[in-house]
Amino acid sequence: MNRSQFIKNSLVAYPALLSFNFPTKLPKQPAIDIATNEEYWKMLRLQFPLQSSLIYLNNGTMGISPYSVIEAIYNKIISINTKGQYGGGDHETIEALAKFTGADKDEIAFTHNVTEGNNIIAQGLPLKKGDEVILTTHEHVGGALPWLNRAKNDGIILKAVNLGNTSDETLANIEKLINKKTKVIAVPHIPCTTGQVLPAKRIATLAKEKGIFSFFDGAHGAGMLNLDLHDIACDFYSSCCHKWMLGPKGTGFLYIKKEKLEFLKPLMVGAYSDSGWDMLSNPPTMNGYCGNAHRFYYGTQSAELYEGIQAAIKFHETIGKQNIEDRVKYLTEYFRENLKNLGSNIEIVTPEEAVSRAAVTGFRMKTITMQKFQEAASKENIIIRIVPENNVNVIRVSTHIYNQKSDIDKLLDIIKKNI
Protein backbone atom coordinates (compact mmCIF):
# COMPACT_ATOMS: atom_id res chain seq x y z
CA MET A 1 0.00 0.00 0.00
CA ASN A 2 1.43 3.39 -0.89
CA ARG A 3 1.40 6.39 1.46
CA SER A 4 -1.67 8.13 0.01
CA GLN A 5 -3.70 4.91 0.01
CA PHE A 6 -2.61 4.34 3.61
CA ILE A 7 -3.74 7.81 4.70
CA LYS A 8 -7.03 7.49 2.78
CA ASN A 9 -7.80 4.09 4.31
CA SER A 10 -6.75 5.22 7.75
CA LEU A 11 -8.97 8.26 7.69
CA VAL A 12 -11.98 6.22 6.69
CA ALA A 13 -11.41 3.42 9.14
CA TYR A 14 -9.82 5.26 12.05
CA PRO A 15 -11.02 8.81 12.57
CA ALA A 16 -8.53 9.16 15.42
CA LEU A 17 -5.79 9.22 12.82
CA LEU A 18 -7.18 12.45 11.35
CA SER A 19 -4.64 14.46 13.33
CA PHE A 20 -1.80 12.64 11.56
CA ASN A 21 0.33 15.03 9.62
CA PHE A 22 2.65 13.03 7.42
CA PRO A 23 5.76 14.79 6.19
CA THR A 24 6.99 12.61 3.35
CA LYS A 25 10.73 13.09 3.76
CA LEU A 26 13.12 13.52 6.62
CA PRO A 27 14.46 17.10 6.75
CA LYS A 28 17.81 17.69 5.07
CA GLN A 29 20.62 17.45 7.57
CA PRO A 30 22.85 20.45 8.13
CA ALA A 31 26.44 19.70 7.12
CA ILE A 32 27.90 20.66 10.50
CA ASP A 33 26.83 21.16 14.13
CA ILE A 34 23.79 18.90 13.79
CA ALA A 35 23.37 18.41 17.54
CA THR A 36 22.85 22.12 18.14
CA ASN A 37 20.73 22.95 15.09
CA GLU A 38 17.25 23.62 16.57
CA GLU A 39 15.70 24.20 13.15
CA TYR A 40 16.64 20.69 11.99
CA TRP A 41 15.25 18.96 15.09
CA LYS A 42 12.12 21.09 14.98
CA MET A 43 11.47 19.84 11.45
CA LEU A 44 12.28 16.28 12.51
CA ARG A 45 9.64 16.41 15.22
CA LEU A 46 7.03 16.50 12.45
CA GLN A 47 7.92 12.86 11.81
CA PHE A 48 6.20 11.97 15.10
CA PRO A 49 2.47 11.84 15.81
CA LEU A 50 3.05 13.32 19.25
CA GLN A 51 0.49 16.08 19.89
CA SER A 52 2.11 19.43 19.20
CA SER A 53 1.00 20.82 22.57
CA LEU A 54 2.70 18.01 24.48
CA ILE A 55 6.23 18.14 25.87
CA TYR A 56 7.29 14.56 26.31
CA LEU A 57 10.28 14.18 28.62
CA ASN A 58 9.70 10.60 29.69
CA ASN A 59 11.46 8.65 27.01
CA GLY A 60 13.04 6.56 29.75
CA THR A 61 9.68 4.86 30.19
CA MET A 62 8.59 4.61 26.57
CA GLY A 63 9.76 6.06 23.27
CA ILE A 64 7.41 7.65 20.77
CA SER A 65 7.46 5.94 17.37
CA PRO A 66 7.77 7.98 14.19
CA TYR A 67 5.14 7.63 11.46
CA SER A 68 7.47 5.44 9.43
CA VAL A 69 7.37 2.79 12.18
CA ILE A 70 3.59 2.97 12.56
CA GLU A 71 3.15 2.80 8.81
CA ALA A 72 5.45 -0.22 8.48
CA ILE A 73 3.49 -2.09 11.16
CA TYR A 74 0.17 -1.15 9.63
CA ASN A 75 1.21 -2.18 6.13
CA LYS A 76 2.44 -5.55 7.34
CA ILE A 77 -0.77 -6.22 9.26
CA ILE A 78 -2.76 -5.49 6.12
CA SER A 79 -0.46 -7.60 4.00
CA ILE A 80 -0.57 -10.59 6.38
CA ASN A 81 -4.31 -10.48 6.74
CA THR A 82 -5.12 -9.95 3.10
CA LYS A 83 -2.68 -12.52 1.74
CA GLY A 84 -2.85 -15.09 4.50
CA GLN A 85 0.94 -14.92 5.00
CA TYR A 86 2.37 -16.61 8.07
CA GLY A 87 5.37 -15.09 9.77
CA GLY A 88 8.40 -13.72 8.01
CA GLY A 89 10.74 -10.80 8.52
CA ASP A 90 12.61 -12.35 11.41
CA HIS A 91 15.93 -13.06 9.63
CA GLU A 92 16.14 -9.55 8.17
CA THR A 93 15.24 -8.01 11.51
CA ILE A 94 17.81 -10.04 13.44
CA GLU A 95 20.44 -8.99 10.89
CA ALA A 96 19.40 -5.34 11.18
CA LEU A 97 19.43 -5.50 15.00
CA ALA A 98 22.85 -7.16 15.01
CA LYS A 99 24.28 -4.49 12.73
CA PHE A 100 22.61 -1.74 14.79
CA THR A 101 24.13 -2.97 18.06
CA GLY A 102 27.55 -4.17 16.87
CA ALA A 103 26.82 -7.88 17.27
CA ASP A 104 26.68 -10.94 15.00
CA LYS A 105 23.30 -12.20 13.87
CA ASP A 106 23.79 -15.51 15.67
CA GLU A 107 24.14 -13.61 18.96
CA ILE A 108 20.72 -11.92 18.95
CA ALA A 109 17.49 -13.45 20.28
CA PHE A 110 14.15 -11.68 20.06
CA THR A 111 12.37 -11.00 23.32
CA HIS A 112 9.22 -9.05 24.12
CA ASN A 113 10.88 -6.66 26.54
CA VAL A 114 13.96 -6.16 28.69
CA THR A 115 12.49 -8.13 31.57
CA GLU A 116 12.19 -11.26 29.44
CA GLY A 117 15.89 -11.08 28.54
CA ASN A 118 16.75 -10.53 32.22
CA ASN A 119 14.76 -13.65 33.11
CA ILE A 120 16.44 -15.77 30.43
CA ILE A 121 19.82 -14.88 31.92
CA ALA A 122 18.82 -15.09 35.60
CA GLN A 123 17.13 -18.46 35.12
CA GLY A 124 19.54 -19.88 32.57
CA LEU A 125 23.00 -19.37 34.07
CA PRO A 126 24.60 -22.35 35.84
CA LEU A 127 24.31 -21.15 39.47
CA LYS A 128 23.97 -23.17 42.63
CA LYS A 129 23.11 -22.45 46.26
CA GLY A 130 25.58 -20.01 47.81
CA ASP A 131 26.83 -18.56 44.49
CA GLU A 132 26.86 -14.78 44.52
CA VAL A 133 25.55 -12.26 42.00
CA ILE A 134 26.31 -8.54 42.10
CA LEU A 135 23.43 -6.16 41.30
CA THR A 136 22.96 -2.49 42.21
CA THR A 137 20.85 -0.48 44.64
CA HIS A 138 19.27 1.16 41.56
CA GLU A 139 17.49 -1.79 39.92
CA HIS A 140 14.23 -1.51 38.04
CA VAL A 141 11.70 -4.08 39.22
CA GLY A 142 12.30 -5.90 35.92
CA GLY A 143 16.02 -6.06 36.75
CA ALA A 144 15.58 -7.09 40.38
CA LEU A 145 12.77 -9.66 40.31
CA PRO A 146 14.30 -12.24 37.95
CA TRP A 147 17.32 -12.47 40.28
CA LEU A 148 15.24 -12.36 43.47
CA ASN A 149 13.21 -15.20 42.02
CA ARG A 150 16.34 -17.25 41.27
CA ALA A 151 17.55 -16.53 44.81
CA LYS A 152 14.20 -17.70 46.19
CA ASN A 153 14.21 -20.87 44.11
CA ASP A 154 17.87 -21.85 44.24
CA GLY A 155 19.44 -20.07 47.23
CA ILE A 156 21.86 -17.88 45.30
CA ILE A 157 23.07 -14.79 47.21
CA LEU A 158 22.46 -11.30 45.82
CA LYS A 159 24.69 -8.36 46.70
CA ALA A 160 23.66 -4.82 45.80
CA VAL A 161 26.48 -2.40 45.03
CA ASN A 162 26.26 1.35 45.68
CA LEU A 163 26.90 3.42 42.58
CA GLY A 164 29.78 5.87 42.81
CA ASN A 165 29.88 9.49 41.67
CA THR A 166 32.43 8.58 39.05
CA SER A 167 33.01 5.53 36.89
CA ASP A 168 36.24 4.81 38.80
CA GLU A 169 34.32 4.78 42.07
CA THR A 170 31.56 2.54 40.71
CA LEU A 171 34.11 0.10 39.35
CA ALA A 172 35.99 0.07 42.66
CA ASN A 173 32.73 -0.54 44.58
CA ILE A 174 31.95 -3.51 42.33
CA GLU A 175 35.47 -4.92 42.67
CA LYS A 176 35.23 -4.75 46.48
CA LEU A 177 32.20 -7.05 46.41
CA ILE A 178 33.87 -9.74 44.31
CA ASN A 179 35.02 -12.85 46.14
CA LYS A 180 35.48 -16.55 45.34
CA LYS A 181 31.74 -17.15 45.36
CA THR A 182 30.92 -14.34 42.90
CA LYS A 183 29.69 -15.80 39.64
CA VAL A 184 27.94 -12.91 37.86
CA ILE A 185 27.99 -9.13 37.66
CA ALA A 186 24.43 -8.28 36.57
CA VAL A 187 24.01 -4.51 36.58
CA PRO A 188 22.10 -1.98 34.49
CA HIS A 189 24.11 -0.22 31.79
CA ILE A 190 22.05 2.91 32.53
CA PRO A 191 19.85 2.59 35.65
CA CYS A 192 16.25 3.75 35.31
CA THR A 193 16.60 5.92 38.41
CA THR A 194 19.10 8.67 37.62
CA GLY A 195 20.27 7.67 34.15
CA GLN A 196 23.85 7.36 35.34
CA VAL A 197 25.90 5.62 32.63
CA LEU A 198 27.92 2.78 34.14
CA PRO A 199 31.37 2.01 32.69
CA ALA A 200 30.12 -1.08 30.86
CA LYS A 201 33.32 -1.90 29.00
CA ARG A 202 35.44 -1.64 32.14
CA ILE A 203 32.95 -3.74 34.12
CA ALA A 204 32.96 -6.41 31.39
CA THR A 205 36.78 -6.41 31.40
CA LEU A 206 36.85 -6.74 35.20
CA ALA A 207 34.40 -9.67 35.04
CA LYS A 208 36.53 -11.37 32.40
CA GLU A 209 39.69 -10.93 34.48
CA LYS A 210 37.94 -12.47 37.48
CA GLY A 211 36.48 -15.34 35.42
CA ILE A 212 32.86 -14.39 36.09
CA PHE A 213 29.90 -13.64 33.80
CA SER A 214 29.03 -10.06 32.85
CA PHE A 215 25.43 -9.14 32.10
CA PHE A 216 23.88 -5.72 31.50
CA ASP A 217 20.26 -4.74 31.78
CA GLY A 218 20.53 -2.43 28.80
CA ALA A 219 16.99 -1.06 28.77
CA HIS A 220 18.32 2.41 28.01
CA GLY A 221 21.38 1.59 25.93
CA ALA A 222 20.09 0.82 22.44
CA GLY A 223 19.00 4.00 20.66
CA MET A 224 20.34 6.41 23.29
CA LEU A 225 24.00 5.57 22.84
CA ASN A 226 25.86 4.61 19.70
CA LEU A 227 25.96 1.10 21.09
CA ASP A 228 28.67 -1.37 20.07
CA LEU A 229 28.28 -4.63 21.97
CA HIS A 230 31.45 -6.22 20.62
CA ASP A 231 33.37 -3.21 21.82
CA ILE A 232 31.82 -3.46 25.30
CA ALA A 233 32.66 -7.19 25.14
CA CYS A 234 30.18 -8.26 27.81
CA ASP A 235 28.72 -11.77 27.88
CA PHE A 236 25.02 -10.85 27.78
CA TYR A 237 23.01 -7.68 27.19
CA SER A 238 19.25 -7.33 27.38
CA SER A 239 17.54 -4.39 25.71
CA CYS A 240 14.30 -3.32 24.08
CA CYS A 241 13.14 -1.57 20.94
CA HIS A 242 10.32 0.35 22.65
CA LYS A 243 12.33 2.95 24.56
CA TRP A 244 15.21 4.80 22.92
CA MET A 245 14.98 2.91 19.63
CA LEU A 246 11.49 4.37 19.15
CA GLY A 247 10.22 1.03 17.87
CA PRO A 248 7.06 -1.01 18.47
CA LYS A 249 5.98 -1.53 22.08
CA GLY A 250 6.47 -5.04 23.41
CA THR A 251 9.64 -5.75 21.43
CA GLY A 252 13.14 -6.42 22.67
CA PHE A 253 16.26 -8.45 22.17
CA LEU A 254 18.89 -10.30 24.10
CA TYR A 255 22.56 -10.37 23.10
CA ILE A 256 24.40 -13.57 23.93
CA LYS A 257 28.12 -13.65 23.19
CA LYS A 258 28.83 -16.57 20.88
CA GLU A 259 31.33 -18.17 23.26
CA LYS A 260 28.82 -18.04 26.15
CA LEU A 261 25.84 -19.58 24.35
CA GLU A 262 26.41 -23.06 25.73
CA PHE A 263 26.53 -21.87 29.35
CA LEU A 264 22.93 -20.71 29.22
CA LYS A 265 20.21 -23.27 29.76
CA PRO A 266 17.05 -22.59 27.71
CA LEU A 267 13.96 -23.04 29.88
CA MET A 268 11.36 -22.34 27.22
CA VAL A 269 11.81 -23.87 23.77
CA GLY A 270 9.81 -24.55 20.64
CA ALA A 271 9.96 -24.20 16.86
CA TYR A 272 13.56 -23.51 15.70
CA SER A 273 15.07 -23.86 19.21
CA ASP A 274 16.34 -27.34 18.30
CA SER A 275 18.76 -29.05 15.94
CA GLY A 276 16.38 -31.92 15.19
CA TRP A 277 13.84 -34.00 17.11
CA ASP A 278 12.00 -37.26 16.58
CA MET A 279 8.77 -38.39 18.26
CA LEU A 280 8.80 -41.73 16.42
CA SER A 281 12.03 -43.06 17.92
CA ASN A 282 11.78 -44.93 21.19
CA PRO A 283 12.18 -43.01 23.42
CA PRO A 284 11.44 -39.77 21.53
CA THR A 285 14.59 -37.64 21.12
CA MET A 286 15.77 -34.12 20.71
CA ASN A 287 19.27 -33.88 19.18
CA GLY A 288 20.13 -30.66 20.91
CA TYR A 289 19.62 -26.93 20.55
CA CYS A 290 20.12 -24.93 17.40
CA GLY A 291 23.56 -23.39 17.11
CA ASN A 292 22.66 -19.79 17.80
CA ALA A 293 20.59 -17.45 19.99
CA HIS A 294 17.43 -18.51 18.16
CA ARG A 295 17.14 -21.30 20.72
CA PHE A 296 15.66 -18.72 23.14
CA TYR A 297 12.62 -17.70 21.09
CA TYR A 298 10.03 -19.95 19.60
CA GLY A 299 6.49 -20.23 18.37
CA THR A 300 4.49 -17.74 16.36
CA GLN A 301 6.10 -14.32 16.25
CA SER A 302 4.76 -10.94 15.20
CA ALA A 303 5.95 -10.24 11.66
CA GLU A 304 4.35 -6.78 11.79
CA LEU A 305 6.35 -5.83 14.86
CA TYR A 306 9.51 -7.04 13.14
CA GLU A 307 8.72 -4.67 10.28
CA GLY A 308 8.32 -1.93 12.87
CA ILE A 309 11.72 -2.73 14.40
CA GLN A 310 13.34 -2.58 10.98
CA ALA A 311 11.69 0.77 10.27
CA ALA A 312 12.90 2.11 13.64
CA ILE A 313 16.46 1.02 12.86
CA LYS A 314 16.27 2.59 9.42
CA PHE A 315 15.01 5.82 10.98
CA HIS A 316 17.94 5.90 13.44
CA GLU A 317 20.50 5.00 10.79
CA THR A 318 19.22 7.64 8.40
CA ILE A 319 19.62 10.33 11.06
CA GLY A 320 22.85 8.76 12.29
CA LYS A 321 23.38 6.91 15.58
CA GLN A 322 26.15 9.25 16.67
CA ASN A 323 24.09 12.32 15.73
CA ILE A 324 21.30 11.03 17.96
CA GLU A 325 23.64 10.39 20.88
CA ASP A 326 25.17 13.85 20.43
CA ARG A 327 21.77 15.52 20.31
CA VAL A 328 20.31 13.86 23.40
CA LYS A 329 23.51 14.62 25.31
CA TYR A 330 23.42 18.22 24.14
CA LEU A 331 19.84 18.70 25.37
CA THR A 332 20.64 17.09 28.70
CA GLU A 333 23.72 19.24 29.12
CA TYR A 334 21.63 22.33 28.39
CA PHE A 335 19.10 21.30 31.02
CA ARG A 336 21.76 20.46 33.58
CA GLU A 337 23.67 23.71 33.18
CA ASN A 338 20.46 25.71 33.63
CA LEU A 339 19.43 23.62 36.64
CA LYS A 340 22.79 24.28 38.26
CA ASN A 341 22.12 28.02 38.04
CA LEU A 342 18.92 27.73 40.02
CA GLY A 343 20.64 27.55 43.39
CA SER A 344 20.84 25.30 46.39
CA ASN A 345 17.19 24.25 46.46
CA ILE A 346 18.00 21.92 43.57
CA GLU A 347 20.07 18.81 44.06
CA ILE A 348 21.22 17.11 40.88
CA VAL A 349 21.67 13.41 41.56
CA THR A 350 22.96 12.20 38.19
CA PRO A 351 26.77 12.44 38.40
CA GLU A 352 28.65 15.42 37.03
CA GLU A 353 31.32 13.32 35.30
CA ALA A 354 30.69 13.51 31.54
CA VAL A 355 31.16 9.78 30.81
CA SER A 356 28.67 8.94 33.57
CA ARG A 357 25.68 10.66 31.98
CA ALA A 358 23.89 10.88 28.63
CA ALA A 359 20.19 11.62 28.06
CA VAL A 360 18.69 11.45 31.55
CA THR A 361 18.83 13.82 34.52
CA GLY A 362 17.64 12.97 38.01
CA PHE A 363 17.23 15.79 40.52
CA ARG A 364 15.47 16.69 43.75
CA MET A 365 13.78 19.93 44.79
CA LYS A 366 13.84 20.95 48.43
CA THR A 367 10.79 23.20 48.06
CA ILE A 368 8.19 20.79 46.65
CA THR A 369 7.52 17.06 46.73
CA MET A 370 8.27 15.17 43.54
CA GLN A 371 4.58 14.18 43.30
CA LYS A 372 3.43 17.82 43.50
CA PHE A 373 6.04 18.82 40.96
CA GLN A 374 4.88 16.11 38.57
CA GLU A 375 1.32 17.45 38.91
CA ALA A 376 2.48 21.01 38.23
CA ALA A 377 4.36 19.86 35.12
CA SER A 378 1.43 17.79 33.93
CA LYS A 379 -0.89 20.83 34.17
CA GLU A 380 1.44 22.49 31.65
CA ASN A 381 1.32 19.45 29.36
CA ILE A 382 4.79 18.30 30.31
CA ILE A 383 5.32 14.61 30.96
CA ILE A 384 8.12 13.58 33.27
CA ARG A 385 8.64 10.58 35.55
CA ILE A 386 9.23 10.52 39.27
CA VAL A 387 11.32 7.73 40.75
CA PRO A 388 10.33 6.56 44.23
CA GLU A 389 11.96 3.14 43.63
CA ASN A 390 14.68 2.06 46.06
CA ASN A 391 14.16 5.38 47.90
CA VAL A 392 16.02 7.20 45.17
CA ASN A 393 13.22 9.81 45.12
CA VAL A 394 14.19 11.90 42.14
CA ILE A 395 12.39 13.76 39.39
CA ARG A 396 13.61 12.17 36.15
CA VAL A 397 13.81 14.06 32.89
CA SER A 398 14.76 12.14 29.77
CA THR A 399 15.16 13.74 26.37
CA HIS A 400 15.05 12.36 22.86
CA ILE A 401 15.23 13.69 19.35
CA TYR A 402 11.65 14.97 19.35
CA ASN A 403 12.60 17.46 22.08
CA GLN A 404 13.85 20.97 21.54
CA LYS A 405 15.59 23.49 23.73
CA SER A 406 12.30 25.36 23.98
CA ASP A 407 10.78 22.27 25.70
CA ILE A 408 13.55 22.37 28.27
CA ASP A 409 13.00 26.11 28.75
CA LYS A 410 9.32 25.49 29.53
CA LEU A 411 10.23 22.86 32.09
CA LEU A 412 12.80 25.20 33.64
CA ASP A 413 10.09 27.88 33.94
CA ILE A 414 7.97 25.53 36.03
CA ILE A 415 10.96 24.58 38.18
CA LYS A 416 11.70 28.27 38.74
CA LYS A 417 8.10 28.90 39.81
CA ASN A 418 8.41 26.17 42.43
CA ILE A 419 11.69 27.01 44.12
Ligand X SMILES: Cc1ncc(COP(=O)(O)O)c(C=O)c1O
Q: Which residues bind ligand X (CB under 6 A)?
A: 61, 113-115, 140, 142-143, 188, 191-192, 217, 219, 240, 252
Rounded Cα distance between 132 and 147, Å, is 11
* Min dist. Cβ of residue 86 to ligand X (A): 26
Cβ-Cβ contacts under 8 Å for 95 (sequence gap 6 or more)? 105
With H, G, I as helix, E, B as strand and everything else as coil, classify residue 138: coil
**In the complex with ligand X, which residue's Cβ is closer, 66 or 195?**
195
**In the complex with ligand X, which residue's Cβ is closer, 302 or 404?**
302
**In the complex with ligand X, which residue's Cβ is closer, 189 or 294?**
189
* Min dist. Cβ of residue 240 to ligand X (A): 4
**In the complex with ligand X, which residue's Cβ is closer, 164 or 218?**
218
- Give the count of alpha carbons within 13 A of 221, CB side only: 27
Q: Are the C-beta atoms of 124 and 266 separated by less than 8 Å?
A: yes
* Min dist. Cβ of residue 255 to ligand X (A): 15
**In the complex with ligand X, which residue's Cβ is closer, 47 or 59?**
59
**In the complex with ligand X, which residue's Cβ is closer, 140 or 295?**
140
Going by DSSP bridges, is the β-strand pair 236-240/252-256 parallel, antiparallel, or unpaired? antiparallel
* Min dist. Cβ of residue 147 to ligand X (A): 12
* Min dist. Cβ of residue 129 to ligand X (A): 26
* Min dist. Cβ of residue 410 to ligand X (A): 24
